Every structure is written in C-alpha cells, then in structure tokens.
Amino acid sequence: MEFFMQQNRSTGLLRQILGGFAIAAAVSFTVQADTHTVDTAYGPVAIEGSPERVVTLYEGALDAALASGVTPVGAIITRGGDSVADYIQAKAGDVKIVGTPGETNLEAVIALNPDVILASSRLSEEQYKLLSQIAPTVVPDFKAYQPDTWIKETRLFAEALNQSENAEKVLMRVQERTAEVEKLVAAKIAGDDRKTALIRWMPQGALVMAEGLFSSSLLQATGFDVDDAGIVQEGRPHSRPLSQENLGLIDHQWVFLATLNADGREALETARKSPAFERMQANQNNRIVTVNGQLWTSASGPIAALALLDDIATAVNQLP
C-alpha cells in the first residue's frame, strides 16, 4: 500500500513509518566535520558534506541540481507528463519517480535513503516536518513570480549541495547567452514591434501566463515587451481560461504559445480554425511561436533557461 502526503489524510500512520526509518538512520549516522547550514523557509537546515543521494520534489530543484553537477536519485513528474520534463530527461537519466507536483509518495522517498531533499516554496509545514525526519529538507523562502526568483532558488539548492561554484559558472553562462539573444532581437525586430504574451493552450481555453513567470522574465530580458493584459491576479502564475471571444485581450504582435501534452495540442489545432484565432495579428503575420509547455510554463532553472533562450533565438532567426 502506498502512503501519500495529502492535507486531508491522517499523518499518524506516516509518522509510524518514519519512526522506524529514524531509528535505523540513527544507528548508522556519523557526524561529518564539514557540516554547513542553509537558511530556508522553515529555519536553518544543517547538511553534512556534499550530498550524493538527492531527492527533488520540484522541477526547478531538479534543474538546479543537475546544473550544479549532481544527478538526483529521485524526482517528481512534470505537469502534464508521466516522467521528468522532455528537455531534461537525458541529463536526469534513470531517476526514480517519487510523485507529482501535488502529491509525494512518502514510501518511495524513504526507499531512496536520501542525504537531502530539495522541495518547492509551496511545501506545507506539515509536509516539511514529515520529510525532515527522512533527511534535511530545503524549502526556498523567496517571493514567487519575480525575475530573479529562479536565480535565488538555484543558489540556495546549490549551497545545500555544496556546489555553489558550479552553479555560479552556469548562471554566468545564462547571463552571457541572454545578452547574445538580446542583441539578436535588437538587430532583427524593431523596438515597437515586440509586444507579446505567453499563453498555455489547454482543452478548456488559453491561459495567459504571468509577466513575472520564469519564462516571461527571460523574454523580457531579451527585449520582448511581455503584456499579460492585466488579467493575471497578483500572486498567480496564470489567468483563468480565456474564451474564444476574449482572445482579443492578447492580440499582440507576437504570441508564444505552449501546450503541455497531446490534449492541449489537439485543442489548439481546433482553435486555429476559429474566426477569433484567425483574426489575431500574430496569426496573420505568422508570429505565433509554438513552444514546449513543459519547458516554457512548468520548468525553471539554468538548464531550462539556456533551452528557452535557444528557442527564442530560433524564432527570431526564422524572420525574413
């Protein structure tokens, strides 16, 4: 029987499982001389040495770990998929799946005997207390949907893994690549011809992604004018689904359009035939850029940033 961490389930049985694990861990625990402490949402967390058995419960944590030179033993699936995101599968190798973005298989985490667990800022305190009995658990405490949130998270996760130097090198590469793509955009697209929106197409309609989202911020950094039409509520990653009639709200010169899976792609192909979609200026000018939703609307981290910047460069280079 599998046990999942959910707010509406009793935690008593989970604590029984963890109790046995904690006893076993205490027997084999050896104090290391190079303990370091990182500041997290739930206070300072002490971590021994350079962790090798890492479990990530957040797409950005998996990316940051791999970018820092550490291959996690466990991770969650990406949104809309059944494994880690396409863009990072080759680097993740045969990483074991331990849950979804909203539900973690606790027994699977325990079975991997992790040295550290890297989680998202959305992890509840109740879940944190359970996970921290398995291994030191790192939860970021940075304001969401800010242009530098993913950079701060990368640095925190790298610090936890004792790999800060590696992380700084790849962050510098992202900065250099951003400057390269910004020059390309400036050379190919007039300054008043860069207004765009990033949308995720779902079967129920288009979701306008927030201006402060990871990918939106990179679009802005390369010179695009990202405009979510003011319909994304503060603190939310995206809007409610737009009806066909309301597509005019994002009738910009460019649209970066993402789908997560086959259902979204099918819905998009149907929508393309509608008069409202056909009237969009980005559609008429052939400036709708279709992108991978797993990368553009779910991922974050240095590896994702470099892949996303390559997508922007490809789109711009295709201009006549």
Of 246, 259, 294, which Cα lies nearest the Cα of 86?
294
**pLDDT by residue (tens digit) across 175-203?**
999 999 999 999 999 999 999 999 888 87
Phi, psi for residue 18 in degrees, rounded to 5 = -65, -30
Q: What is the CATH number of the domain that holds 249?
A: 3.40.50.1980
**pLDDT by residue (tens digit) across 49-106?**
999 999 999 999 999 999 999 999 999 999 878 899 999 999 999 999 999 988 999 9
Asked if 59 and 145 sit in the same domain, the reply is: yes
**pLDDT by residue (tens digit) across 152-167?**
999 999 999 999 999 9
Of 108, 130, 162, the residue at which a domain comes to its end is 162
Owning domain of residue 281: 182-318
In this structure, are residues 77 and 118 in contact, taking their beta carbons and an 8 Å threshold? no
Least confident of 24-38, 87-101, 262-276, 299-313: 24-38
In this structure, are residues 117 and 139 in contact, taking their beta carbons and an 8 Å threshold? no
**Domain presence at residue 72:** yes
Of 100, 134, 162, the residue at which a domain comes to its end is 162
Q: How many CB atoms lie within 10 A of CB 78?
A: 25
Asked if 211 and 304 sit in the same domain, the reply is: yes
In this structure, are residues 244 and 276 in contact, taking their beta carbons and an 8 Å threshold? yes
In this structure, are residues 121 and 141 in contact, taking their beta carbons and an 8 Å threshold? yes
Banded pLDDT at 12 (limits 50, 70, 90): very low
Asked if 127 and 238 sit in the same domain, the reply is: no
Which pLDDT score is estimated for 250? 86
**Domain presence at residue 14:** no
In this structure, are residues 72 and 62 in contact, taking their beta carbons and an 8 Å threshold? yes
Q: What is the pTM of this model?
A: 0.87
What amino acid is encoded at 20 in this protein? G
Asked if 203 and 136 sit in the same domain, the reply is: no
Locate all alpha helices (DSSP H) within 96-146, ordered by sequence. Answer: 106-111, 125-131
Which pLDDT score is estimated for 320? 78
Q: Say yes or no to pLDDT of 20 above 70.
A: no
Asked if 190 and 314 sit in the same domain, the reply is: yes
Q: What's the half-sphere exposure (Cβ side, CA atoms, 13 Å) at 26?
A: 7
**At how many degrees (to 10) do helices 302-317 and 59-67 cross?**
90
Which pLDDT score is estimated for 24? 42
Helices and strands of the chain, counted as H and E runs: 13, 15
Q: What's the half-sphere exposure (Cβ side, CA atoms, 13 Å) at 248?
A: 5
In this structure, are residues 200 and 297 in contact, taking their beta carbons and an 8 Å threshold? yes
Which pLDDT score is estimated for 233? 85
DSSP for residue 295: I
Asked if 210 and 158 sit in the same domain, the reply is: no
Enter the tokens of residue 148: 């530098």
**Domain presence at residue 311:** yes
Q: How many CB atoms lie within 10 A of CB 116?
A: 27
**Domain presence at residue 200:** yes
Of 108, 129, 162, the residue at which a domain comes to its end is 162
Asked if 229 and 130 sit in the same domain, the reply is: no
**Domain presence at residue 98:** yes
Which pLDDT score is estimated for 267? 67
Least confident of 145-154, 286-295, 309-318: 286-295
Tell me how far apart the alpha carbons of residues 262 and 19 are, in angstroms, rounded to a whole number: 43
Asked if 126 and 234 sit in the same domain, the reply is: no
Q: How many structural domains comprise the chain?
A: 2
Q: Say yes or no to pLDDT of 7 above 70.
A: no
Enter the tokens of residue 286: 């052939």
Asked if 141 and 226 sit in the same domain, the reply is: no
**Domain presence at residue 167:** no
Which pLDDT score is estimated for 27? 39
- Give the pLDDT mean for 211-236: 92
Which pLDDT score is estimated for 29? 43
**pLDDT by residue (tens digit) across 229-245?**
888 888 888 989 888 77
Write out the E strands in the chain: 4-5, 36-40, 43-47, 54-56, 74-75, 96-97, 99-100, 103-105, 116-118, 137-138, 195-202, 205-208, 225-226, 254-259, 288-292
In this structure, are residues 300 and 95 in contact, taking their beta carbons and an 8 Å threshold? no
Which pLDDT score is estimated for 279? 85
Asked if 140 and 209 sit in the same domain, the reply is: no
**Domain presence at residue 141:** yes
**Domain presence at residue 292:** yes
Asked if 132 and 196 sit in the same domain, the reply is: no
Which pLDDT score is estimated for 312? 97
User: Both ends of the chain: CA-CA distance in Å?
Assistant: 58
Which pLDDT score is estimated for 262? 65
**pLDDT by residue (tens digit) across 254-294?**
999 888 766 667 767 777 777 877 888 988 888 989 899 89
Enter the tokens of residue 123: 């992890």
Cβ burial, residue 107 (10 Å; 0-12/13-18/19+):
middle
**152: which residues sit within 8 A by CB, 6+ positions away?**
140, 142
Asked if 221 and 113 sit in the same domain, the reply is: no
Tell me how far apart the alpha carbons of residues 27 and 278 are, in angstroms, rounded to a whole number: 67
In this structure, are residues 62 and 89 in contact, taking their beta carbons and an 8 Å threshold? no
